[in-house]
């Protein structure tokens, strides 16, 4: 298989862009319909408090490697990897037919053309003649390791979603303290209080419109990746068991639903 690994090809996720545009647009338009001005929502101080405070809190609890991974995975929200299970099924069936005709050693040529490291590792174990149970045990360790890594990336954004509203409230309290210190100017109280509560909007908005949805998106992609890898393992183990291509197809087609 030439080009990028099958599980690393990406596609543009239009729904993510549409969702962000719809949610932010609804809030902005709703504010305008209520008689508010968009400038009232643009407060640099509140933004710095919420974003800076949230990032700082997350950095305290998160190892650098996990935080760096989360930043890399952020790209997946718009360009998620595509796991082509139908193409995998066709390829596994081809391997099974080759193995039945020429033996498992004939699959050694196939390992050289596989760009997906996970698939290549499974084929290598198959060619080496390992027992089916051993192949499954080794591959499942790889799956568990991958899932644990991707879960750590999702937890970074979950943590941001947890801290952000609280930091927003903290920003609002700081703004109200500033207002209380200027009670001698009643004409400025209304505007000052409004500005103070923008921090709360930022905190709740970032959490529920960005951080938590991103975490859930990464979890969904991780679940899809696990399903794809389970399909790889089942296919390779069935070849090692000497199952005929029709039986392999019948089982693996369940992954296509």
Report the pLDDT value the prediction gives residue 9, as an integer from 0 to 100.
Answer: 67
How many structural domains does the chain have? 2
Mean pLDDT of the chain: 89
Report the pLDDT value the prediction gives residue 149, as an integer from 0 to 100.
Answer: 96
Q: What is the DSSP letter of 210?
A: I
Of 147, 116, 126, which is closest to residue 235 (Cα–Cα)?
126
The whole-angstrom separation of Cα 42 and Cα 104 is 65
Look up the domain containing 23 and give its range. 11-42
Average pLDDT on 172-196 reads 77
- Same domain for 115 and 201, yes or no, is yes
Within-domain flag for 170? yes
Q: How far is CA 100 from CA 122, 142, 169, 238, 256, in A?
A: 18, 27, 66, 12, 24
* CA dihedral sign, ordered 217, 91, 257, 137: negative
Within-domain flag for 111? yes
Report the pLDDT value the prediction gives residue 209, as an integer from 0 to 100.
Answer: 95
Q: At what angle do helices 212-240 and 117-127 cross, to 10 degrees?
A: 20
Check whether 86 has a pLDDT greater than 60: yes
DSSP of 28-42: HHHHHHTT--GGGG-
Task: Give the E-state strand segments of 156-229 in sequence order.
Answer: none
- Same domain for 29 and 119, yes or no, is no
Report the pLDDT value the prediction gives residue 239, as an integer from 0 to 100.
Answer: 95
Check whether 37 has a pLDDT greater than 50: yes
What is the phi/psi pair of residue 84, to 5°?
-90, 90
- Same domain for 37 and 143, yes or no, is no
The whole-angstrom separation of Cα 123 and Cα 94 is 13
Within-domain flag for 84? yes
Confidence bin at 38 (pLDDT 50/70/90): confident
- Same domain for 31 and 104, yes or no, is no
- Same domain for 232 and 215, yes or no, is yes
pLDDT higher for 35 or 234? 234
The whole-angstrom separation of Cα 110 and Cα 120 is 9
Within-domain flag for 58? yes
- Same domain for 75 and 172, yes or no, is yes
For 237-250, write each residue's pLDDT tens digit: 999 999 999 999 99
Average pLDDT on 73-98 reads 93
Report the pLDDT value the prediction gives residue 11, as an integer from 0 to 100.
Answer: 77
Average pLDDT on 219-225 reads 95
Check whether 50 has a pLDDT greater than 50: yes
pLDDT higher for 185 or 141? 141
- Same domain for 37 and 49, yes or no, is no
> Does an H or E element contain 126, and which?
helix 117-127
Within-domain flag for 4? no
The whole-angstrom separation of Cα 208 and Cα 162 is 10
Within-domain flag for 140? yes
- Same domain for 179 and 61, yes or no, is yes
3-state DSSP percent of the chain in helix, strand and coil, to 5: 85, 0, 15
Report the pLDDT value the prediction gives residue 144, as an integer from 0 to 100.
Answer: 96
Report the pLDDT value the prediction gives residue 69, as an integer from 0 to 100.
Answer: 97
Check whether 159 has a pLDDT greater than 70: yes
The whole-angstrom separation of Cα 172 and Cα 203 is 10
- Same domain for 218 and 92, yes or no, is yes
For 108-155, write each residue's pLDDT tens digit: 888 887 878 899 999 999 999 899 999 999 999 999 999 999 999 999
Check whether 52 has a pLDDT greater than 70: yes
Of 123, 119, 121, 114, which is closest to residue 3 (Cα–Cα)?
114
**Cross-strand bridge partners of residue 10:** 81
């Amino acid at each position: 298989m030439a080009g990028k690994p099958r599980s690393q090809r990406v596609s543009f996720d239009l729904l993510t862009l549409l969702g962000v545009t719809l949610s932010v647009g609804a809030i902005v338009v709703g504010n305008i319909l209520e008689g508010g001005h968009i400038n009232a929502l643009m407060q640099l101080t509140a933004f710095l408090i919420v974003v800076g405070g949230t990032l700082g809190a997350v950095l305290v609890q998160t190892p650098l490697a996990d935080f760096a991974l989360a930043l890399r995975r952020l790209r997946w929200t718009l360009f998620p990897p595509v796991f082509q299970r139908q193409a995998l099924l066709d390829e596994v069936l081809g391997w099974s037919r080759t193995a039945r005709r020429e033996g498992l050693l004939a699959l050694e040529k196939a390992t050289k053309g596989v760009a997906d490291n996970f698939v290549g590792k499974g084929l290598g174990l198959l060619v080496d003649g390992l027992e089916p149970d051993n192949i499954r045990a080794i591959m499942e360790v790889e799956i568990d390791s991958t899932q644990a890594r991707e879960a750590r990336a999702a937890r970074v954004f979950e943590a941001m979603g947890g801290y952000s509203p609280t930091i927003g409230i903290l920003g609002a309290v700081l703004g109200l303290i500033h207002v209380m210190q200027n009670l001698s100017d009643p004409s400025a109280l209304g505007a000052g209080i409004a500005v103070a509560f923008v921090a709360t909007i930022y905190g709740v908005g970032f959490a529920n419109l960005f951080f938590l949805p991103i975490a859930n998106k990464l979890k969904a992609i991780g679940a899809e990746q696990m399903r794809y890898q389970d399909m790889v393992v089942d296919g390779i183990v069935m070849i090692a068991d000497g199952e005929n291509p029709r039986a392999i197809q019948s089982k693996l087609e369940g992954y296509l639903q």
